[in-house]
Structure 1
């Protein structure tokens, strides 16, 4: 459904700022009917990529196909296949649920019985029954997000693009939204591409793409990504993470990846993780606020591959790899 080929986007420079490459030689294939999550740190290029996919920005070079339609050569045909949920709310909070849906339907020429049928279909999965006359600003964050998704579903899109749609939702609302999204994708055969910073949201999707510095670092199933870290992960919370990382490197020959105040040691070489935990506590207890051994999660994979990309960039080799381009099918 989505095929991106050698996509590059460069923001032009100005008097005080040089040109900046936001997306660099990126290729990605999301097969029809699949649920993919796109993740990356701030400044990774995923927002620029999302704008290009929505037709809001034209890339410097490359090709984007949506359902076989060329997004750059025939944008109207490509956009007709998609629905978009932006990170910022795109409903009028001063209007009722039904009024918001009616305005969106009118933009697509839906009215009368056709609109009523589509509205019933779009709302069938929601918790909005009995709330059609309520103003959106009286709804909870989770229900307001349901209105936005229902609005997109009025046009029966084949592709659904969502930009961090669970931002600001409480854990229960987030889980409910994702459960409904997964069910809708399965029942309607839609393709879903969603950006997210929350790695727990990616555990049950079909594939996860990780970006940094405008490049695609990894693209595979959650299971395959976790398998990249074959052993346990030692996680250390420290008030002085840089100092502790230096000690671990000098004394034990270990490379610790930093994430905020946490250090992660992935699959310690020739060492038992529990035994290493005991050694770290014995030798560096004043620098340790908390320490645990756990199985690798997607967050650990993310930290690992982005750290590798930083190291490669420092060596002048460029960022990393694009796996799973076709095996995701």
Structure 2
């Protein structure tokens, strides 16, 4: 998996007696959109915290764009952009001030940062709001600014943890469209964590996480068969299982 944008290899994490991640392994190919699908509490946010080094890895290995996160954290994280589930913009600053501040944290000079901010705001459709305070924006607009912020240092891999939670249907569609355009037009690699089925297209690669374990992976269209829909298949995959793994009669079980 060394040629992938992200390789997660047998990663486990515990909080006391509770196992949040149990030997999780999967990859995000370069230039691909991969959906990490799981219900609330499945372990998606814990996994993101390990990949972004907010939590130290207790077991396993994470490789970001060829750099081992444990041995080369600075090189690995320098090429990573993240949109966390929690909103983290400074609402008292303008759109441009938020982006400039984040650029400064990455060591980007002001002149270079301004040159990057203009096309990013054009891409997310907020060029005319650059001098407006974040508190005046809608939830969907604020989310778009967070995506622009995550791209300010030109990362090769973008992680998004439930980026559309709490947004209306139109705002959700806008966010999905922006990210998919980045994959299609700029070759960005994306790991998109969600529990919303209509954000996933038939040709997307999908990793299904349930109770800290990967219970299925593959192309969404194939995983949907023979049930006819990804949602139905997902409910079958995450039904009560044997303690030692997936039901033996489940054709989508992970070997």
- Counterpart for residue 186 of structure 2: 188
Report the CA distance between 1:124 and its aligned residue.
2.5
Alignment of 1:60-139 (within 5 A): 60-139=58-137
Find the counterpart in structure 2 of residue 302 from structure 1: 234
State the match for 1:318 in structure 2.
245
Tell me which residue corresponds to 1:147: 145
| In structure 2, distance between residues paired with 1:78 and 1:311 | 36
Kindly name which structure, 1 or 2, has the bigger radius of gyration based on alpha carbons: 1
The alignment's TM-score, normalised by the length of structure 1, stands at: 0.72
Kindly state the Cα deviation for residue 120 of structure 1 after the two structures are TM-superposed.
1.7
2:9 paired residue among 5, 8, 11 = 5
What displacement does 1:103 show?
0.6
TM-superposed CA distance for 1:312, in Å, is 2.0
Residues 36 and 205, structure 1, Cα contact 8 Å, conserved in 2: no
RMSD over aligned CA atoms reads 1.5
Q: Map residues 1-329 of structure 1 onto 2, 5 A cutoff.
A: 1-12=5-16, 19-203=17-201, 206-229=204-227, 296-307=228-239, 310-313=240-243, 317-319=244-246, 321-322=253-254
Relative contact order (alpha carbons < 8 A, sep ≥ 6): 1 or 2 greater? Answer: 2
Q: 1:37 touches 1:205 (CA, 8 Å); kept in 2?
A: no
SS of alignment partner, residue 50 of structure 2: helix
Count matched residues.
246
Q: For residues 52-108 of structure 1, what are the alpha-carbon distances to aligned partners after superposition, in whole Å with 9 as ceiling and x for unaligned?
A: 111111222111111110011211111111000011111111111111111111111
Deviations 1:176-221 (A, max 9, x none): 1101110011111111001111110012562111111211011111
SS of the equivalent of 1:33 reads coil
Question: Corresponding residue for 2:250?
Answer: none
Structure 2 unmatched runs, 5+: 248-252
Structure 1: runs of 5 or more not aligned? 13-18, 230-295, 324-329
**2:145 match: secondary structure:** helix
Deviation per residue, 1:250-303 (Å, 9 max, x gap): xxxxxxxxxxxxxxxxxxxxxxxxxxxxxxxxxxxxxxxxxxxxxx22111110
